[in-house]
Amino acid sequence: MTGRILSHAELIELIDLLGASRRLIGPVRRGDHYFYEPVAGAARLALDAPQCVYSPKSFLFPPEETLLTFEKESGRFVAQPVLHDAPIALIAVRPCDIHGIRLLDHVFAAPPGDAHYEARRRQTFILGMDCAEPCRAEAFCADMSANTAHLGFDLMVARLAEKLEARATYAIEAGSETGENVLAEFGRGRAPGAVDEAARAERAARKRQAFPKRLRCDVDELPMALQRGFASKTWAQTAQRCYSCGSCNLVCPTCYCFNIRDDISLDGNCGSRVREWDGCQLRDFALVAGGHNFRSDPAQRLRHRVMRKGRWIQDRTGLPGCVGCGRCDGACTAKISIREMFNALAEEAGHDGD
Amino acid sequence: MTVIESMEAGVRTSPYVSTPARVLDVEKLTDLETLFVLEMGHGRALDHRPGQFVQAWMPGIGESPISICSSPTRGRAFELCVRRVGEVTSHFHRFRPGDELGVRGPYGNGFNMRSLEGHSVVVVAGGLGLAPARSVIQYIIDRRDHFDQFHVLYGTKTPADVLFRHDLSLWRHSALMNVMVTVDRPDEQWRGRSGVVTKLFADLPPLDPDRTSAVVIGPPVMFKFVVIELMARSLPADRIFCSLERRMKCGVGKCGHCQINSEYVCTDGPVFTYERMRSLPEAI
């Protein structure tokens, strides 16, 4: 077994070491919910937070960001790209969100690379926090093979003793050279012994039992089931309830669609081009000049999102478009569930095949 | 190589920064459409393919995807035909020679003109579709020996909507090509043909289906009727090339606005074979 074993106090110290040269961002409790927020020190973090309302994607791909500024100089506009590369450390990122970030990496790195995303991403350290059990009833991360991450992080922590946090021990492993260097520099903790090894094996066994299957089909069969269900009545039936509010897009760790707009000063002499999140469920998303809307019907928009998450992103990138985190189901004001849609379409496809 | 490593080696400059372009000439085509002749500020050619588009930027107003309506065979300058429909395109119409705007691109796959060589080509354009089609038409005129029969079928709603009248008149009187124009709703002065563009197929001479390609560009409703006519003449679906319209915000395969099923029109298109379009139910 590789890696180190840390006590809770040592983990806090390690995070503060990361924070010495990077802005720390991790789960913070706000009322009944948790959010990824910048913090001054590790003590402020809720390391055992189950799931944050939003994924930490917004620190790599902010809801609103200036892509370039422009200024009038002797009658001509001169534009200057804006790149943010201040180092950050994302702390206690859950496996589902690590999978989400891997997809964003893929999309924004595809040529021509998005320099704005890349500049942030290059300076981002990710400390993952493995899950021992599902965080919410809507989650089907295990079905999407996203309840564990093998890559896409610098360090991964798994809490071994699930008792009082202060007395907990953690197994920590590096997933990158940067992560290895940080562990070496930290130098604390101990090499895992037989007891730790047993604890880890026991935890892994418990984890396997803890995540129930919530999809009624194998994830590999999902793309074909969705394709066969393209003309299904399920889309229109379900979309009757959809308000086209885009809440599902807002909370999704793999949604990356955006709009770009111009802002300009009152005197018209300078301004900026600003990227803002956009959502395919919003009515005008596929509107073109002249007024034609290629997805004017909420059923078309719902189908677009569900097909995209369950098939099309995978077709394009080879990575799953949905990590099964369950956030969209929880956020939907009309109780539309992507998991139930996947299940309904898989069931229909099964009947078709009989 | 992991994604992060490929980022290290990747492009460092923002793909959203445009290059200055200068307006050389402005020509009003109809009440709504104006032709702008442009040249890149760096003085080099845009280096585009027929059927590609650019993102045209006016600082403080916004950016619009616009098809290039001239052929790369016509020198360093390039032309955009802009219909006044929104804020950006309305501002576009204020441009005068000497004015500057930002241009990103060219984007999209464009037409693979080499793959049409040796074939007869039928260009079918509806409305503003003549603008991108014109880049193909000019290209074929300039490389006429490389192609067999050459037919251009163009339809608009009314006589007032007919674009590129000067070009059409030259083309009509040229021995290089067969040009047919029709309008849906003729007025008293209109002496040409009337009816939808598919009516023009009746006057098309026989085509060798093994050596004919079609270029189809127009409003969504036009495609399926034109394709029916072409397939009735036994043209294979993979020799029918259609160019689709979407409102691309990024132009580089990221923002999602132009997505049709698994395809991004800005990078996988805007030119798709009908063969491919058939499996994209939301394409038209």
* Number of Cβ pairs < 8 A linking chain A and chain B: 139
Residues of chain B with CATH 2.40.30.10: 19-107
Q: How many CB atoms lie within 10 A of CB B195?
A: 14
The predicted structure's pLDDT at residue B4? 32
Give the H/E segment covering residue B32: none
One domain, residues A124 and A99: yes
Paired strand residues for B243: B217, B271
| Residue A92 backbone dihedrals phi, psi, to 5 degrees | 60, 50
Residue of A151, A258, A308 with shortest CB distance to B249 = A258
One domain, residues A111 and A176: yes
Q: Tens digit of pLDDT for each residue in A138-170?
A: 999 999 999 999 999 999 999 997 666 777 899
- B259/A308 CB distance under 8 A: yes
Residues of chain B with CATH 3.40.50.80: 113-243
- B17/A112 CB distance under 8 A: no
The predicted structure's pLDDT at residue A352? 63
Which chain B residues have a beta carbon less than 8 Å from that of A103?
A: none
Which chain A residues have a beta carbon less than 8 Å from that of B60?
A: 70, 262-264, 268, 271
Min Cα distance B244 → chain A (Å) is 11
One domain, residues A169 and A190: yes
One domain, residues A337 and A230: yes
Which chain A residues have a beta carbon less than 8 Å from that of B220?
A: 292, 294
Say if residues B207 and B125 touch (Cβ distance below 8 Å): no
Sheet with B100-107, side-by-side order of all strands: B62-67, B53-58, B100-107, B19-28, B33-40, B78-83
Dihedral, B86, B92, B94, B95 alpha carbons, nearest 10: 180
Residue A19 structure tokens: 């924070």
**Residue of chain B whose alpha carbon sits nearest to that of A105:** B3
The predicted structure's pLDDT at residue B12? 54
For residue A112, whether the previous peptide bond is cis, meaning omega lies within 30 degrees of 0, is: yes
**Residue of chain B whose alpha carbon sits nearest to that of A71:** B59
CATH 2.40.30.10 fits B19-107, yes or no: yes
Min Cα distance B146 → chain A (Å) is 33
pLDDT at A353 over 90: no
Which chain B residues have a beta carbon less than 8 Å from that of A118?
A: 7, 10, 12
One domain, residues A159 and A14: yes
Paired strand residues for B215: B123, B241
Residue of B10, B89, B282 with shortest CB distance to A109 = B10
pTM for this predicted structure: 0.93
Which chain B residues have a beta carbon less than 8 Å from that of A70?
A: 59-60
- A81/B13 CB distance under 8 A: yes
The predicted structure's pLDDT at residue A110? 92
The predicted structure's pLDDT at residue B9? 38
- Mean residue pLDDT of chain B comes to 93
The answer as to whether A75 is a domain residue is no
Sign of CA dihedral B155, B161, B164, B168: positive
The predicted structure's pLDDT at residue A349? 85
Q: Tens digit of pLDDT for each residue in B188-204?
A: 999 999 999 999 999 99
The predicted structure's pLDDT at residue A76? 84
Q: Domain total for chain A?
A: 2
Min Cα distance A65 → chain B (Å) is 13
The predicted structure's pLDDT at residue A162? 63
User: pLDDT band at residue A77, thresholds of 50, 70 and 90?
Assistant: confident
Round to whole Å and give the CA distance between B275 and B169: 34
Percent of chain A scoring above 70 in pLDDT: 98
Min Cα distance A34 → chain B (Å) is 28
- A258/B86 CB distance under 8 A: no
Percent of chain B scoring above 70 in pLDDT: 96
**Residue of chain B whose alpha carbon sits nearest to that of A154:** B4
Say if residues A195 and A9 touch (Cβ distance below 8 Å): no
Residue A142 burial (C-beta neighbours within 10 Å; 0-12, 13-18, 19+): buried
One domain, residues A154 and A289: no
**Residue of chain A whose alpha carbon sits nearest to that of B18:** A79
Q: How many CB atoms lie within 10 A of CB A32?
A: 5
Mention the CATH class of domain B113-243: alpha beta
**Residue of chain A whose alpha carbon sits nearest to that of B283:** A294
Min Cα distance B259 → chain A (Å) is 8
Min Cα distance A302 → chain B (Å) is 12
**Residue of chain B whose alpha carbon sits nearest to that of A286:** B257
Q: Give, for all 284 residues of chain B, the pLDDT tens digit.
A: 222 333 343 335 899 999 999 999 999 999 999 999 999 999 999 999 999 999 999 999 999 999 999 999 999 999 999 999 988 999 999 999 999 999 999 999 999 999 999 999 999 999 999 999 999 999 999 999 999 999 999 999 999 999 999 999 999 999 999 999 999 999 999 999 999 999 999 999 999 999 999 999 999 999 999 999 999 999 999 999 999 999 999 999 999 999 999 999 999 999 999 999 998 988 88
The predicted structure's pLDDT at residue A74? 81
Domain that holds residue A286: 219-262+278-353
Q: Tens digit of pLDDT for each residue in A200-230?
A: 999 999 999 999 889 988 888 899 999 999 9
One domain, residues A173 and A225: no
Where is the domain boundary, A166, A192, A210? A210
- A76/B16 CB distance under 8 A: no
pLDDT at A244 over 90: yes
One domain, residues A24 and A156: yes
Q: Which of A260, A267, A277, A300 best tests the B interface by mutation, with the highest count of B CBs <10 A?
A: A260
Dihedral, B214, B217, B220, B226 alpha carbons, nearest 10: -30
One domain, residues A333 and A288: yes
Which chain A residues have a beta carbon less than 8 Å from that of B261?
A: 307, 312
Round to whole Å and give the CA distance between B264 and B283: 11
Sign of CA dihedral B156, B162, B165, B169: positive
- B260/A110 CB distance under 8 A: no
Cβ-count burial A232-247 (b if 16+ within 10 Å, e if not): bebbeebbeebebebb
End-to-end CA distance of chain B: 38
The answer as to whether A247 is a domain residue is yes
Look at residue A91 and give its three-state secondary structure.
strand
The answer as to whether A74 is a domain residue is no
- Mean residue pLDDT of chain A comes to 93
Min Cα distance B225 → chain A (Å) is 18
One domain, residues A198 and A224: no
The answer as to whether A308 is a domain residue is yes
The answer as to whether A268 is a domain residue is no
Say if residues A168 and A160 touch (Cβ distance below 8 Å): yes
Min Cα distance B128 → chain A (Å) is 11
One domain, residues A241 and A331: yes
One domain, residues A289 and A325: yes
- B253/A110 CB distance under 8 A: yes
The answer as to whether A68 is a domain residue is no
